[in-house]
Structure 1
Amino acid sequence: MAARRPHQTTAPKPPTFADLGVPDALVRVLAATGVNRPFPIQAATLPDALAGRDVLGRGRTGSGKTYAFALAVLTRLAAVAAPRRAGRPRALILAPTRELATQIDNVLAPLAKALSLRTMTVFGGVAAGPQIAGLRAGVDVLVACPGRLADHVEAGHARLDAVEITVLDEADHMADLGFLPTVRRLLEQTPRGGQRLLFSATLDAGVDVLVRRFLADPVVRSVDSTLSPVAAITHHVLHVHAEDRFAVLVELTAAPGRTVVFTRTKRGAKTLTRRLVAAGVAAVELHGNLAQAARTRNLRAFSEGEVHTLVATDIAARGIHVDEVALVVHADPPTEHKAYLHRSGRTARAGAAGTVVTLMTDGQAPEVRELTRKAGVAATTTRLRPGDALLRELAPGERTLVPQPVQQSAGPRHEMQPAQGSRDRRGGTPPLTASTRSAPARSGAVAFSARARPGARRGGR
């Protein structure tokens, strides 16, 4: 008698975008950009969103929320043909910052084009005239920051009574920035029976108020626990003397690969960027005191590889996606654990691995220990000095420094502008030592000018 074979079970095959109900035209666009399989947040939320249900999607940063709502919005709009009407969008996506609004539109635009739908962005820091003209011409999907959209609504350039689908992205961050009163006023002007999709990493009290007030019997879909740390990130705390902080930072940022360095203040980001540039690191800054054109230019220079170091405030901690960020450095430890996790989420995105380094002086030790404990991360703490071998393990590769004098301006206007020829950092300079911080400028080096516009509005306006 033949022996019985053990019963074998096969794991269910993960769904494709087509299985979830995404139209072929969009599936082809996704495939052309290398997106072939849904991420968990997309697989979890798309069936309900495509069925017209209100959805509350919770997922950690980098989990793929943008495609989750973008595909749902465009698919539903394309299913019912409707003429564009001046100033009356059919779908509204609210985002807390200009950078996130731009990034969402960059995802939407090629998908919308495949369905003959039109998108546009509305945010502050740029001239209102082109936005007014775009609204007048008619738009299917409007991606907006709350403040500037409220201005257009008040002036009569936009009406929200034709909005069929409303999306709130990074709702908890909008709450943190104080935008909820404006968001509530905007949502109250959308049709009561419209579909609402809310995506957030956390459900803090302010966000919960929005859910209870504006979402009708929402389907709740969560991917990973709220603010869960990413397993693919390795966390390190470097215990340094205060006078060694900058030299250690230079050694980390002079390595090849993209690095995001976080500071607590806008002035700190500006000052640190100028010092890094003077030391020979190709760096740009990103913070709220920059004019919008400079913010856009600097983020583009970083994402396209013209410079490899971005020095930013928490304006870059949420929603901003740049491929292949290998290292995140908390030059200033954040004040609370949520900010730590959001900052750290700029690396190890979409399944990649990454490294997070926090610089800690003696006086910061208690707060950093409490910070990592609340964040639920197991960080390796090492006391070191510049030149330590661990620095090359954390940021591997040949160090390249091309020191530059930073142009001094007469006033307080500062925009970091990468010059031509800044793509290649492989100059064969010797390993960094503390003495290189004041090295003289060399001919043919990367040039940056610094000018900032005072009084620039926050990202939501």
Structure 2
Amino acid sequence: MNPSARTGDLTGLADLTGDTGTSPLPAAERFDDMELPGAVLTTLARQGVTAPFPIQAATLPSALAGRDVLGRGRTGSGKTLAFGLPLLARTAGRRADAKKPLALILVPTRELAQQVSEELAPYAQALKLRLATVVGGLQSGRQAGELRAGAEVLVATPGRLRDLVERRACRLDQVDIAVLDEADQMADMGFLPQVTELLDQVRPGGQRMLFSATLDQDVELLVRRYLRDPVVHAADPAGETGSTVEHHVLHVHGADKFATATEIAARDGRVIMFLDTKHAVDRFTRHLVASGVRAAALHGGKSQPQRTDTLDRFRSGAVDVLVATNVAARGIHVDALDLVVNVDPPTDPKDYLHRGGRTARAGASGSVVTLVLPDQRRDMARLLTDAGIRPRITRTHPGDPELRRITGARTPSVTPDGAGRDRRGNAPFRGMGTVPGKPGRAKNESRKSAEARRTAEARKAARVRRGA
């Protein structure tokens, strides 16, 4: 393969792709210079998409010509249109039979599936293509009905699609173009057996495109097995979440951790805050709401309608703080999101990069802040080195002017709403202490008050009965 096909650090990928010396088509600087249908060009202009991002400029010409593509680009780099526009353009003019889509996009999460569908919907409509989305957490009967009515393009998560295939509600033998988005996450989540089972059912010899924020040995099986002499492209170096991102490590003491996080959450502007567990997410969200912060929780324990509603409110500005587990680390795009906070540090370099990828999207700027306790410092330093990140390290505490400078933190406005609520903006997180899940004094006092109230009411009722 011609070295010009590669941008950024692609060490080792030539071995995976079977370098044959075939060159990609030249990159195009304008959408008008590509073989895109007029309806797509009109829709791009209507959507305000005026110039291709680097990954689009590099891969679209070859993808439109039917070449396989192996692309790496951090989330927000334009990957969806890089694979979506050629998929739609090359499918246009055909009509799918019932239950037999012609093009398939596999993604690891429900949120990413919905985002991909929403982003491609205007272009599919312009080309008169029917698009169906198949994910878990929603009624499978309704999704089977969409496939039965006919859909040229199918966006799906592996588990739900496999279920529909096994129930004979969908057949993949007419799929000519198959895309894997965020392939490394599919490997991390244990989806590879399902993915390979599904790809083995699509029409042989068709076009394959694999895109991901990171490309490493986790995807070696998929590349070797399904891609033929692909055009290889990386939109940025593997260890970067973007040159416009500032990375900060804030050293805090355990007693100050959640008070510090609360002040950051009370800033002016939207922020995503990551915690390790569903339980910790729910408890911290309740604390923020009680502190006067417009916050909402997102994790795998929520139903799909709840998750969709929460994201809609966050995107619209009705919610300022999204408190989430790693379920929000990929597939979520929010305009003007300039801060991501790791309240609980991640344990894997890829998780750090994907969490940080929620900010500084499409060339914007942003910051990633990680709160680190004394006993976490060594592990966090090692993780950031592995991720290729050189952060700025600051020791801080609630009320620190430097904390305000870095994050915009401020003392939250607290509305009194019952006994046991914390009325001090910089107080520790009652009910969690320094470790999520540890019961606090406020919660115990609240429970005792409730028990006393119930006892008093029972005694009053007994007196009334005796008087009767």
Same structural fold, with TM-score higher than 0.5 when normalized by the shorter chain = yes
Tell me what 1:15 maps to: 29
Shift of 1:14: 6.6
CA separation in 2, counterparts of 1:248 and 1:174?
34
1:44 paired to 2:24? no
Shift of 1:396: 2.9
Amino acid across the alignment from 1:76: R
Tell me what 1:73 maps to: 87
Amino acid across the alignment from 1:281: V
Q: Is the 8 Å Cα contact of residues 258 and 429 (structure 2) preserved in structure 1? A: no
* Aligned counterpart in structure 2 of residue 329 of structure 1, from 335, 338, 341: 341
* Aligned counterpart in structure 1 of residue 118 of structure 2, from 99, 106, 116: 106
Tell me what 1:120 maps to: 132
Q: Is the 8 Å Cα contact of residues 262 and 412 (structure 2) preserved in structure 1? A: no
Amino acid across the alignment from 1:62: G
Q: Is the 8 Å Cα contact of residues 279 and 436 (structure 1) preserved in structure 2? A: no
Shift of 1:52: 0.5
CA separation in 1, counterparts of 2:89 and 2:240?
31
Correspondence 1:19-168 to 2 at 5 A: 19-78=33-92, 81-168=93-180
Any idea what the Cα deviations from partners look like across 1:314-334, whole Å, max 9, x if unmatched?
111122111111110000000
Amino acid across the alignment from 1:292: Q
CA separation in 2, counterparts of 1:184 and 1:262?
31
* Aligned counterpart in structure 2 of residue 314 of structure 1, from 311, 326, 329: 326
1:34/1:432 CA distance change after superposition, 3 Å: farther
Shift of 1:336: 1.6
Tell me what 2:377 maps to: 365
CA separation in 1, counterparts of 2:172 and 2:254?
53
Listed as ranges, the gaps of 5+ residues in structure 1 are: 1-11, 407-429, 441-461
Correspondence 1:184-333 to 2 at 5 A: 184-333=196-345
CA separation in 2, counterparts of 1:276 and 1:432?
10
Any idea what the Cα deviations from partners look like across 1:144-168, whole Å, max 9, x if unmatched?
0000000000000000011110000
Q: Is the 8 Å Cα contact of residues 27 and 57 (structure 2) preserved in structure 1? A: no
Q: Is the 8 Å Cα contact of residues 326 and 347 (structure 1) preserved in structure 2? A: yes
1:27/1:135 CA distance change after superposition, 3 Å: same
1:181 paired to 2:193? yes
Q: Alignment length, in residue pairs?
A: 403
Listed as ranges, the gaps of 5+ residues in structure 2 are: 1-25, 432-441, 443-468
Q: Is the 8 Å Cα contact of residues 277 and 404 (structure 1) preserved in structure 2? A: no
* Aligned counterpart in structure 1 of residue 181 of structure 2, from 151, 169, 189: 169
1:337/1:405 CA distance change after superposition, 3 Å: farther
CA separation in 2, counterparts of 1:282 and 1:247?
16
Larger helix fraction of residues: 2
Shift of 1:397: 7.7
Report the TM-score when normalising by structure 2.
0.82
SS at match of 1:325: coil
What percent identity do the matched residue pairs reach?
53
Shift of 1:382: 1.3
Tell me what 1:376 maps to: 388
Any idea what the Cα deviations from partners look like across 1:191-237, whole Å, max 9, x if unmatched?
11111111022233331101111112212122212232311111111
CA separation in 2, counterparts of 1:144 and 1:387?
46
Report the TM-score when normalising by structure 1.
0.84
Larger radius of gyration: 2
SS at match of 2:338: strand
Q: Is the 8 Å Cα contact of residues 321 and 346 (structure 1) preserved in structure 2? A: yes
SS at match of 1:108: helix
* Aligned counterpart in structure 1 of residue 427 of structure 2, from 430, 434, 459: 434
Shift of 1:287: 1.0
SS at match of 1:72: helix
* Aligned counterpart in structure 1 of residue 401 of structure 2, from 370, 379, 389: 389
CA separation in 2, counterparts of 1:215 and 1:259?
38
CA separation in 1, counterparts of 2:413 and 2:304?
29
Q: Is the 8 Å Cα contact of residues 98 and 123 (structure 1) preserved in structure 2? A: yes
SS at match of 1:74: helix
- Greater mean deviation of Cα atoms: 143-152 or 194-203: 194-203
1:397/1:339 CA distance change after superposition, 3 Å: closer
CA separation in 2, counterparts of 1:336 and 1:321?
22
CA separation in 1, counterparts of 2:416 and 2:75?
35
- Greater mean deviation of Cα atoms: 132-141 or 215-224: 215-224
1:181/1:28 CA distance change after superposition, 3 Å: same
Shift of 1:13: 11
Q: Is the 8 Å Cα contact of residues 236 and 242 (structure 2) preserved in structure 1? A: no
SS at match of 2:339: strand
Q: Is the 8 Å Cα contact of residues 251 and 374 (structure 2) preserved in structure 1? A: yes
Q: Is the 8 Å Cα contact of residues 201 and 227 (structure 1) preserved in structure 2? A: no
CA separation in 2, counterparts of 1:133 and 1:404?
50
CA separation in 2, counterparts of 1:365 and 1:397?
22
